[in-house]
Chains A and B, each alone.
Chain A
Amino acid sequence: KPKLYRSVIEDVINDVREVFLDEGVDEQVLMELKTLWENKLMQSKAVDGFHSEEQQLLLQVQQQQQQQQQQQQHHHHHHHTQPQPQQTVQQQSQPQQVLIPASQQAPQQQVIVPDSKLIPHMNASGMSAAATAATLALPAGVTPVQQILTNSGQILQVVRTANGAQYIIQPQQPVVLQQQVIPQMQPGGVQAPVIQQVLAPIPGGLSQQTGVIIQPQQILFTGNKTQVIPTTVAAPTTAQAQIPAAGQQQPQQQQAQPQAPLVLQVDGAGDTSSEEEEDEEEDYDDDEEEDKEKDGGEDGQVEEEPLNSEDDVSDEEGQELFDTENVVVCQYDKIHRSKNKWKFHLKDGIMNLNGRDYVFSKAIGDAEW
């Protein structure tokens, strides 16, 4: 596949050379085009081993440097035994960023959300839907779940991604977060996944950091000194391996930092809200009974309250969260349908799935509508 792309690039560059010359454009510009093109391809990581090893090494070096910086700042405070990817403030000019965990070995990655795909339902704990929507830009598949009010009055938005992991988005204003360990947490028990609050370092390389891991169910803030939080939030991988380690660290942190009274503990979206939903649904049923009868009760699902409903259309298959929209661009030989059973006969396609590129000369598929 890298060879395929290579050959296409070569063909195109060679074919347009003449056009360039006709227009009086220097060959050097042509070379620049080629370099730009190849570099972008390499950066997209959609193709493996596309370009020279040299440039790949360069990328790795950059990533390592970032890790080193974070680790230096790290040792001041929390003695995290596990290598949590940390977030350094790199570009403050960018809007809110949602950090999404990369593979275990990779450092942090940023997901930059330029446009705003807003999900209208919000938790009514202070901010109106419009206000929250205005301040947050969420990628597709990420839904706001809860809002957490910290000691300082900062509202943190907890969002849930397609695979169930939850993250905290911190808004842009610098915030002083004072938190402490919540007494209820269970260090040994992995049943209640634990969150460690990590504050990204202040630009200029000051003081310590903490990171945010949010596991479903429970959100735990670990207290430490007041910090100014920049725009980005570190969310290390949700790998299971980290949970026990995180659990073990909790007691250490407890002893290390006795703190002022705690912050709101927020449970996962599952339990409490469902109880509420049931109550409300009963009311709904009475009111809308007639309508439902008319529909013939097609809708097996009872209406959920707007909050948290339709969190996710798709199944949670434990996939890594990617920002890419999976796209297949191809040609069709034949599209067939029988009742609601569709058959696809496709050819000459390029696919981008989970961030990676694939090609096919033929693709045959089945789907039910």
Chain B
Amino acid sequence: MAYQLYRNTTLGNSLQESLDELIQSQQITPQLALQVLLQFDKAINLALAQRVRNRVNFRGSLNTYRFCDNVWTFVLNDVEFREVTELVKVDKVKIVACDGKNTGSNTAE
């Protein structure tokens, strides 16, 4: 099964909210909503792996780190994200990272 990691993104959250509204108005069942989300997981994982091809660098200070269930969670402060085109500065960022090995093969086609 593909990582459900990306549900907490703008794209994923807006989908979840939309699904919730449809459930509220009883136009779809929660089960159907779940299916949609699972499909979203596959689609986004695939899209990121295949359609995105850019690199970003960043630097900052590490505030906290956690490694649990093979998931890293970091909180960094005063971070600069650098892409070729632009520079973005934030004073706090949380990074959640799942294990990147062998992800592609897990998605059931």
**Which residues does A use to contact B, with CB under 8 Å?**
4-5, 7-9, 11-12, 15-16, 19-20, 23, 25, 29, 32-33, 36-37, 40-41, 44, 46-47, 162, 313-315, 317, 319, 325-333, 335, 340, 342, 344, 346-354, 357-369
Say which residue of B11, B39, B47, B99 sits within 8 Å of A331 (CB atoms): B99
Is A348 a contact partner of B49 (Cβ separation < 8 A)? yes
With both chains docked as a complex, state the minimum distance between the C-beta of A89 and any C-beta of chain B, in angstroms.
26
Given contacts A15-B43, A344-B95, A369-B61, contact A319 B89 (CB under 8 A): yes
Interface string of B64-96 (1 = CB under 8 A from A): 010000001010111101010000111111111
Closest to B96 in A: A329
> With a CB–CB cut-off of 8 A, which chain B residues contact A335?
72, 97
Say which residue of B17, B46, B54, B59 sits within 8 Å of A366 (CB atoms): B59
With both chains docked as a complex, state the minimum distance between the C-beta of B1 and any C-beta of chain A, in angstroms.
15
Is B18 a contact partner of A36 (Cβ separation < 8 A)? yes
Is B18 a contact partner of A33 (Cβ separation < 8 A)? yes
The CA-CA distance from A1 to B105 in the complex, in Å, is 25
> With a CB–CB cut-off of 8 A, which chain A residues contact B74?
344, 367
List the 10 closest pairs (A to B, CB-CB), nearest first.
A331-B100, A314-B91, A36-B18, A40-B14, A367-B62, A332-B97, A369-B62, A365-B58, A326-B93, A348-B48
Q: Is B29 an interface residue (CB 8 A)?
A: yes
With both chains docked as a complex, state the minimum distance between the C-beta of B38 and any C-beta of chain A, in angstroms.
9
> With a CB–CB cut-off of 8 A, which chain A residues contact B43?
8, 11-12, 15
The CA-CA distance from A36 to B25 in the complex, in Å, is 13
Closest to B51 in A: A4
Given contacts A32-B22, A359-B52, A365-B59, contact A37 B97 (CB under 8 A): no
